[in-house]
Amino acid sequence: MQRRSGKALVPLLGALAALAMGVAAVAIVLQIQERDKRLARERELQLALAENDDLKVKLETTQQSKTRAEEQLAAAKRTLSQAQDELAAAVKAREELSRSIEDREREIARLTKDLDQASADSKQMTEQLQSERKRLADLERAKADLESKVMELSGQPTVELDKVLVKGALGCAGAGASGLALAVPTAAMPSMDGQVVVINREFDFIVMNLGRNHGLSVGQEFQIVRGAEILGRVKVEKVYDELSAAALLPESKKNAIREGDAVRPL
């Protein structure tokens, strides 16, 4: 009976041993799995810590970048504000410059107009000066001719007025080089009455056969008459011994005066 019981326990014990071994194996497997899980969690934790540290570094870097960005933004704002102020000043300066340019352009236009007017005036004055120079040259030539004629006539004897012989321009023996006809007196003059011997209508003067020897003086005035008709008045400007030159006064009928017309003092 006991031998049978002992033989029956052997398989049971083997089964228990196998079960124990299986349980131990399972426990070992579970322990290994738990260890692997723990190691995996530790690795994950380390990775999480590492990531956390990395995130902290990145956060600090980001914070520093943010601070720098804020500083740069503030600097950019200051620069922008300064640029806006400079732009406003530049716009104001440009407006002032535009007004100044407009003022300068108006001034240049005025000066150009004044210059054109001055040029026109200068041209007109130059033309007038040339005309006056030409007129002066003509007067000088006429004066030279007159003085030559006066000197020529001064050498002729004084004659009486009632015996004057007046010839036409074509037949006058005493005509000068300019073609002016002369009335040549033939006898001594008994009084201050005289005669027109040369007339120049271009320069409005006459030469009469009365001079210093007859008591004439510069500034004395005479009438020019033909019969009972008064043709004009003259004023003595130059006196020679036997002749004098007198300017025709404005009221004279210079186109009607001829050589040989009588002159008498006023």
Break the chain into its structural domains and give their ranges.
Answer: 32-128, 155-265
Q: pLDDT band for position 191 (50/70/90)?
A: low
Instruction: Please state the rounded mean pLDDT for residues 207-234.
Output: 94
Which parts of the chain fold into alpha helices (H)? 2-154
- Domain 155-265 falls under CATH 3.40.50.300: no
Rounded Cα gap, residues 245 and 250, in angstroms: 16
User: How would residue 235 be classed by pLDDT, with cut points 50, 70 and 90?
Assistant: very high
Give the burial class of 205: count Cβ atoms within 10 A of its Cβ; 0-12 exposed, 13-18 middle, 19 or more buried: buried
Taking 60 as the threshold, does the pLDDT of residue 161 lie above it? no
Rounded to an integer, what distance in angstroms lies between the CA atom of residue 92 and that of residue 106? 21
- The rounded distance, in Å, linking the Cα atoms of 32 and 113 is 113
Residue 1 has a pLDDT of 61
Tell me the Ramachandran region of residue 257: left when phi exceeds 0, alpha when psi lies from -120 to 50, beta otherwise. beta
Q: What percent of the chain has pLDDT over 70?
A: 75
pLDDT at site 62: 86
Q: 239 pLDDT band (50/70/90 cuts)?
A: very high
Residue 140 pLDDT grade (very low, low, confident, very high; cuts 50, 70, 90): low
Report the distance separating Cα 206 and Cα 125, nearest Å.
31
The mean pLDDT of 176-197, rounded to a whole number, is 51
Sign of CA dihedral 236, 188, 241, 155: positive
- Please determine, for residue 262, whether its predicted confidence score (pLDDT) is greater than 80: yes
Torsion over CA: 78, 84, 87, 93 (sign): negative
Work out the mean pLDDT of the chain and round it to a whole number.
78
Average pLDDT of the segment spanning 240-247: 93
In this predicted structure, what is the pLDDT of residue 30?
84
Give pTM, 2 decimals: 0.37
CA distance 65 to 51: 20
Q: How far apart are CA 220 and CA 264, in angstroms?
A: 11
Exposed (0-12), middle (13-18) or buried (19+): which is 254, by Cβ within 10 Å?
A: middle
